[in-house]
Amino acid sequence: MISLDKIREKSGAVIFGNNIFSLMDVDSTNTFILNMARSGAPEGTIVVADYQHAGRGKVGRSWFSPKGKNLTFSVLLRPTAEIDYAQKITLAIASTLAAAIEDYMQQAFGMQLKLTLKWPNDILFEDKKLCGILTESILKDKDIVALAIGIGININLERTDFPEQLQENSVSLMEIAQKQIVMEDLLAIFLRGLEQDYERWERNNYRDVVATWKQRCLQIGKNITINGPDGRQQVTFQDVNSKGYLIFKTEDGSEHQLISGEVECF
Ligand code: BTN
């Protein structure tokens, strides 16, 4: 089970890591933390689980994670922002997390990793998925009461641990490092980074988030398949706008935006 003492000691974070829970088995850390939010849990609350028996992924999928081998956790945010900002906040978290994973690999193994981001919020290593993020919200009118940022990172999985349908497009940190990953150390580095970045984003109204995110995105200008409200379509990835929405061009040259959905490169 994840050691909380180790995380508290190493993260040094004040807000993120102060109110942290480690569970053996839960349906989904996002569901759990959203319930905590309804009961008044403070910003910065973290819920980590060894195992989720109903872990959720994007677009209604389930999230695969065998017991004790991966980091599956949720962070509770209560930003001073309207729901329009939720997408941008998720992009911001993805940038911070990618940087934290790179820092960990440098500190632990002297490895210089270059992770990339795939819209809306996957972290990739050499085009294979290392991490997914699922943001869910509690709203009051247009204001955000709470955001559950759910994060799943493939950590100590061997190739044979991945189910067949994930074999081709997924990778774990252990596969990259060829060594066991200390999950507490990685989580502590992320929480410390989040503490610094979140304070800055809130202060500057999430101003530089999209530009920072785009520095790690390799999809811009490429042909992609989107799976949005109108089904699957082959389009060109034009840009990510100031709200964090995907701007794409269809064959007839017209420009559209996608607020949420799935993207594949081809
Ligand atoms: C994706 O489909 O890429 C998003 C995956 C998000 C998975 C994480 S694991 C922790 C949290 N709890 C969940 O049920 N889902 C998220």
Report the predicted TM-score, pTM, of the whole model to 2 decimal places: 0.95
Q: Among the atoms of ligand 1, which is closest to the Cα of residue 59?
A: 2
pLDDT of residue 79: 94
Q: Among the atoms of ligand 1, which is closest to the Cα of residue 56?
A: 14
pLDDT of residue 266: 57
Q: Which amino acid residue places its CA nearest to atom 11 of ligand 1? A: 150
pLDDT digits (tens, 9 = 90+) for 162-174: 999 999 999 999 9
What percent of the chain is modeled with pLDDT above 70? 99
Q: Which amino acid residue places its CA nearest to atom 15 of ligand 1? A: 56
> How many CB atoms neighbour CB 160 within 10 A?
6
- At residue 208, does pLDDT exceed 90? yes
Whole-number Å distance, alpha carbon 12 to ligand 1 midpoint, is 25
The C-alpha torsion from 179 through 183 and 186 to 189, rounded to 10°, is -150
Q: Which of 34, 63, 131 to mutate to test the pocket of ligand 1 (most atoms within 8 A of CB)?
A: 63
pLDDT digits (tens, 9 = 90+) for 103-151: 999 999 999 999 999 999 899 999 999 999 999 999 999 899 999 999 9
Separation of alpha carbons 42 and 128, rounded Å = 35
Averaged pLDDT, 89-102: 97
Separation of alpha carbons 98 and 181, rounded Å = 16
Q: Which among 154, 187, 150, 181 is positioned nearest to 169, based on CA atoms?
A: 154
Tally helices (H) and strands (E) across the chain. Answer: 7, 12
Q: Which among 106, 80, 90, 73 is positioned nearest to 4, based on CA atoms?
A: 73
What would the two tokens of residue 245 be?
Answer: 């929405």
b/e code 31-51 from CB counts within 10 Å (16+ = b):
bbbbebbeeebebbbbbbbbb
Average of per-residue pLDDT values in the chain: 94
Q: What is the CA radius of gyration of the chain?
A: 18
pLDDT digits (tens, 9 = 90+) for 242-266: 999 999 999 999 999 998 877 886 5
Q: Which of 2, 32, 34, 72 to mutate to test the pocket of ligand 1 (most atoms within 8 A of CB)?
A: 72
C-alpha triplet 113, 116, 118: angle, nearest 5°? 155
Separation of alpha carbons 169 and 253, rounded Å = 31
Contact 56, 65 (CB under 8 A): no
